[in-house]
Amino acid sequence: MATTSQNNQILNYLQSGQPLTALKALRLFGCMRLASRINDLRRMGHTIFTDMVGENGKTFASYRLAKFVNKK
């Protein structure tokens, strides 16, 4: 799969308002380098936040698009 295609798929997913993790990106898009694709999207001008999530004794990144930031 071309990087551009993965970038588009990832951006569309993030635009749906859902957070994305590396495991979910692998399952949905076959993307093995989510951090690189997120970097591509950031360089294209998209504001993407990284949240560090802890689950089952593991810590991993979860990405979300800026317009879907929850305001408290």
Output the pLDDT for position 3: 72
Is the distance from CB of 63 to CB of 14 less than 8 angstroms?
A: yes
- Domain range for 44 is 3-67
Is the distance from CB of 40 to CB of 7 less than 8 angstroms?
A: yes
pLDDT confidence tier of residue 68, bands split at 50, 70 and 90:
low
Output the pLDDT for position 72: 44
CA distance linking residue 62 with residue 53, whole number of Å: 7
Residue 42 lies in a domain: yes
- The CATH number that applies at residue 9 is 1.10.10.10
Compute the Cα dihedral for 40, 46, 50, 56 and give only its sign.
Answer: negative
Output the pLDDT for position 1: 55
Residue 72 lies in a domain: no
Residues 4-55: tens digit of each pLDDT:
799 999 999 999 999 999 999 999 999 999 999 999 999 999 999 999 999 9
Residue 40 lies in a domain: yes
Structurally, how many domains does the chain consist of?
Answer: 1
- Sorted by sequence, the CB contacts under 8 Å of residue 23 that are 6+ apart come out as 60
Output the pLDDT for position 42: 96
